[in-house]
Structures are given as C-alpha cells and as structure tokens.
Amino acid sequence: MYSLLAGLDLAMPALLAIFAWTGGTKAFRLAYTGSAGQLARRSRKLYSWAVYSSLAALIGSAAIILLAVSHAPVFWIDRLTLHVPFELGTAAAIWLVAVPRLRRLRQAARAADGALPHTLRAEAAAPGIVIPFHAAALGGLAGLFYALVPPVPVRTLPVIVPVLIYVLALGALYVRHVRRWRQICEADVLVRRQPWSRFVRFIITVSIVGAIAAAGIWAGLENSKLPARISMTAGEMDWGGGAEPGADAAGLEEPAHHAVTVHTAHQGHVAESAVNDGESEGAIALASGSSAGGDAVISVSELTGPQQAEADRTFTLTAERQDVKLATGETVKGAWTFNGQLPGPELRMREGELIEVKLVNRDLEEGVTIHWHGLDVPNAEDGVAGVTQNAVMPGQSYTYRFIAEQTGTFWYHSHQDSQEAVSKGLFGPLVVEPADKGNGESEKDAVQKTGDSDIIVMSHVWDGVGFAVGDSTGVQQRTVTPGTEVRLRLINTQDWVRQKYTLIGAPFRVAAIDGTDVNEPELLNDKHIELTTGGRMDLVFKMPDTPVFLAVGQGSKLGIAMSPDGQNVVPGKLPKEKTSAFNPIHYGKAAATSFNADRKFDREFTMVLDNKLGFYNGTLNQLYTINGKVFPDTPMYMVREGDLVRTTIVNRGSVDHPMHLHGHHVLVLSRNGVKSDGSPWWSDTLDVLPGDTYEIAFVADNPGLWMDHCHNLTHAVTGMSMHLMYEGITSPYEVGSDTLNHPE
C-alpha cells in the first residue's frame, strides 16, 4: 500500500505540471482566436484541462492524506506541509480565478457574432485566465522536486530555495502576461510576433535557462567529488542520547550495562593478553577502549582473533580471474573466483574451533578481502578494505584467524569493490556445525560435507548466463531416503533481488534465520520464503515416500528435485498449493533473552532510509540515503562497550533495503508497530521494505569500527553506508582514490 501511495505522490505532481502547463498554453492562445464562435469552443475545451489538473492534484493529495492516516509522521509530514499546498492550493486557484473568467468569456463569445470584438480579445488575454494554470504547473514542478529530493530531515535551505524559485518564476510569468494584456488592451489591431521572432525568443530563453542549469549541474558534480583520502573514523558522530566523552568526569551516571563481554574475553587478542597476564576485568575494559571517560585508545588492527594458538582448521582461498564452466555446461567468462570455483569452496567448521584462513591474491588487480557475512568475528578479522585492513593486491596474501563462536549458515565474500566482486563470483558458503552433534564425534573430527540431507542452496545470477543455484542453471536431482531429515540452507547472494523459495511436496519448518536457530518452529504447509540480498534461512523437513521440489524463483525451471529413487522428477507435474510469504514476527515459541523492549536503553538511534536525485562523487544519480545523507556525510553511531542500543529503522523510500550491520546480530523488537512475540528473531541482514518501520536492539559487545550498510550493493556503492563506532577506537586505514581501498 505504501509503495502505491508514494508512487502516486511522485506521479501526480508530474501530471499536474503537464496538464496545467498545457492548459496555460491553450489559455495563452485564446487572445489570437479568429472569431467569437471559435473563442467559445476553445474556452469550453479549457474546462477539460482544468479538470485534468485538478484530478492530478486531488489524487496526489489524497494519497498523502491516506499516508497520514496509516503511517507515522516521518512518512508524510514533509509531503503534507510542502506537496499539498503547492499542488492542491494552486489547482484550486484554477477553479477560483480562471474558471469563472472562462465562463464569462464563453458566454460573451456565444452572444457575439462573426469576428472577435477587441474587448473580448482583451478579456481573453487577461492574466487571471493564464496565470492560475501556469501557477499550478509550477506548483506541480515544485511538488515533483520535493518528491525527488525530499528535505528529510528538515533543513531550511532545501525547503526555502524551491519556494524562492517558484515565486521568482511565477513573478516573471505574471509580468510577461500583464505586459501582453496591456498591449492588447491599448492596441486597435492585435499584432502577433512572426514565427521566426517567437522561435528566436524561445531559443534565447532556453539557452539562458540551460546555461544556468548547466552551471548548477557542473557545480554540483564538482562539489560532490569525494576526498582523495578519507579516514573511516572521521565524520559526524551521533551518540544516541547517551553519555559522550567526558560525561563520567562531570559526574553523570555510568550506563548500566558496562561490562567485559564474553566475546571480548574469548576472541580479542588484547583481551586474551590481559587474561593471560592475570589482569583484572577493568584492565581488559580499558584495553578495549571502554574505560570510564573513554581516554584509552586502541586501533582496530589490534582487535584480532587469537594469534599464537594452533588452529583447529585451516583453509586457503586463492583469488584469481578465470573462465569457469558450470555444471550445466555454460561458461562464465572473466569470472573472479576463489580457488577457480563458482561459487567459492564450501567452508565447514565446528563451533568453538580456532579457524585460520589464508587469502592469496593471484592476479586480481582490483584487490580482494574476505568478509564473513553474519559471523561475528573480532573487528580486525572482518575483512573490509579501508576499515579493518588494507586490500590484498596481486602477489600478496593475508591470514584471518577467529574462533567460530556461532552455529548456522553464513557466507563469505570480498569487501573490496564488493558490488563488482560479488557479482563476478568472489563469494562462497560457510557453515558452522554444533560442537557436539550427539554422535560421539569430537570437535576435531571431520565435519559433515554437503550431501543429500544437508543441502546448500546458494542463488546467484552469473554474468552472461542468468539465474543459478550454485553452479547449476536448471533443476538438480537428488536421491533422498524416505524418513531422512533434510536441511536446506538458503542463501541469497544476488544484488537487489528478493528471491522466492517454494517447497512443494512436504511440510517444513524454518529452523534458523540468519544463522540463528528458531525456538520450537512450527510446521508450515502454505508458505513460501522470500529472502533479501545477503539473507539466509534454514528449512528442515522429513523426506516422504514421494518427490519433493524446492522451486527457486518463479516457475519450476530452477531448483532442487528430491526423490527416493533418484529418478528425474518433473517439477511441473507436482501438485502446488497457493502460498503466502513467511513472516517471522509471530513464528516459533517465545524464549528468554538477555534484554527486551521493556529494558532501559543506553543509546537510541533513528535511521531513516530514503532515496533522492542528487550528486555523488562526480555523477548525477538516484541516491539512496540514510538520514538524508550519503557517505561520507552519513552519521556515525557511537557506543561504548556494554551499551544496550535500540535503533528505529524507517524506510520512507521507494525500494527495499537489506540493512546489514557487521559484527553484531540484532534482536527484532517490532515491525510496523506489531510486537515480535514468537521465537526471538535475531538478524544480521534485515529486509526493510518501503513503508516499513522496525525497532531493533543489540548489545554493544564487539569493540571496533563496523560497517552498517545496505546490502543491495548497488545502493552501497552510491553512498548508502555508515558506521557503528565504539568509543576509544581508532583505525589506521583509509579509503579514497589515492588509496587502494574501495570497500564498496
């Protein structure tokens, strides 16, 4: 509903401008009519353009009023105070001023006979007929501008400048029409400029307006260019209403949740050293930059995983450019690969294991890193170029070390030129299995590889090939013994695609969301899954005696077909039920968490997602904004270790945004005012649709400098990115054209 109303708010001002300007042009020409009868007919036809203009204004205003009834003020306050007066107010002037004059003019013209009398010609040229149409047209343009460049949050200059331009433009038109009207009133014979003269005036006007516009665009392009070097610790800091540096010294109350977290003590290199030396918990907190007053400073490069202990499991990933032949026979040319594979190799490990991954860049001149999407590793291991490390260039290598503290389904990908890197293939699946599977195996036993009962379903669009599941563009056939519990690990990697998954032939449970188990999930029969970019869900079902098909996307041409005998299953012949999208808000059984919506939060932030037309790094583009800004002007949310943080995310834009906070999982408290009362819903990639409002919360338990960005990487590359920064943290890394680091 929101998308429809917002779309009407965008379309109707444009139609108002077109209809009203057309009406104004026809009204302008009334004075040049040859006869009284012709004037009467043309006056009558102008009623139609008044109606068209008014309908556009009414529909646009009605959409805004419906938004005001159904949504919070952040969605409509600017629309109500700026769009409606410009659109509905100016359209009303057509009926209050122009239409009564047209009615009198038409009556007089019908009473006249033959040639048009001079008095009627002068009345036809009256500004009161033309100006209301042109005022409405300019009002439509003003409304369209505010829709394309919403001034949210409200700032004086973006609001006032369009108003001033409107007044100046309308004043210029008024002066012109008054001058023409007086000339017609004073002249015995109407003199109209020759076509060549009108054409010259038109060219001159267009040239002047074009020159002014070109100068403004050039200035905008130049001023939008990003600095050659940007420190990711610089920028506007938002403390979320909590204590700022120096607050403790002033005697303010210390936040209630300050404590050394299990994560820091377990993972962090600095914390590990402190524990080994027998230092106190206070010393650990001081080393991690969370001291009272925030005087201690630590670099993100020091927030590593354990460096000295022997790794339980090691992997090597080699980044290289190759042509890769898929399992179904198609060739992806010029792919960017890990170990020559598309997708990259599956990494499986056990909970609690110390993992070591060596990244080698063989020939990718763009550089490469590895980010562990959804796995909350120490900050230095997060793999973001210019934030937690420098990009790994050709001939170089880099080693990541971290403890796999979570269990579930994750994935890894490069976070250097991430939009292009992921598109071309620098990603792969990652699975962390529980430490004890209940079968007597030790933690260091070989983990179970993907098979017929544990299936990774990684969807992507390969360049020049199209949609695929892993390396297959068709239907994969699997043999599954009846009675087997099958786990389907769904991972959507494709940029700006909300992928649909439909299981046909068996009821299922959603066992995990974004790598976190669902508590007591219920059996589902009539639901399909929709996954945002970067999102994951695990589906489990018991294999029946009959075939089961997982359809990926629309139709039955892509997916996984499972049958007891392994024979070719024809998905199109399987019975299908009408399904609706799965919603986690009430799913599963409630369980205790360390905090909930009733707790007092140390910091509270509001994140408003939107889109606007604007300049970014030397280009004019459709921008996707956070609190009205794009990187590097987006706010930096500041926290202290141990803070309990609540964020309200509002999407008042026209497209969905999968918001991904690195290094943390957030607990969804509510969606659109509806409390999340099923299983605790933990997420690391939250799909925020147009019109959505989410309340989320997390504990700041992983010190560092963390990206928080839209995982529609097309949006991130044009500035939809910000950071979560812990007090007392610094970073030696930079991004920009004079560096090798380009995280997006």
Give the global pTM: 0.88
Separation CA 297–CA 21 (nearest Å) = 62
Burial of 91 (0-12, 13-18, 19+ CB in 10 A): buried
pLDDT in the model for residue 510: 98
Helix/strand/coil for 389: strand
The sign one gets for the Cα dihedral 733, 236, 644, 724 is negative
Tokens of 529: 């899954």
Name 518's bridge partners.
none
Average pLDDT, integer, range 334-348: 97
pLDDT per residue over 515-528, tens digit each?
Answer: 999 999 999 999 99
pLDDT in the model for residue 195: 73
List, in order, residues 6 or more apart from 433 with CB less than 8 Å away: 348, 349, 350, 351, 407, 447, 448
Torsion of CA 15, 21, 24, 28, to 10 degrees: -150
Tokens of 637: 């949310």
Average pLDDT, the chain: 88
> Residue 480: left if φ>0, alpha if ψ -120 to 50, beta else—which one?
beta
327-334 contacts: CB < 8 A, separation 24 or more? 327/470, 327/471, 327/472, 328/468, 328/471, 328/472, 328/473, 328/474, 330/462, 330/464, 330/465, 330/473, 331/465, 332/425, 332/462, 332/463, 332/464, 332/465, 333/463, 333/464, 334/424, 334/463
pLDDT class of 204 with cuts at 50, 70, 90 = confident
Average pLDDT, integer, range 299-319: 96
Average pLDDT, integer, range 493-511: 94
Q: Of 379, 233, 356, which Cα lies nearest the Cα of 303?
A: 379
pLDDT per residue over 133-191, tens digit each?
Answer: 999 999 999 999 999 999 888 888 888 988 999 999 999 999 988 988 888 888 755 55
Cβ pair 710, 721 in contact under 8 A: yes
pLDDT per residue over 438-482, tens digit each?
Answer: 444 444 444 545 557 899 999 999 999 999 999 999 999 999 999
Average pLDDT, integer, range 13-34: 92
pLDDT in the model for residue 637: 96
Separation CA 28–CA 35 (nearest Å) = 16
Strands 666-671 and 237-238, how do they pair?
unpaired
pLDDT class of 249 with cuts at 50, 70, 90 = very low
Q: Of 502, 516, 511, 491, which Cα lies nearest the Cα of 347?
A: 491
Q: What is the DSSP string of 529-590?
A: EEE-TT-EEEEEEE--SS-EEEEESSSSSSEEEEESS-PPP-GGGS-----EE--GGG-S--
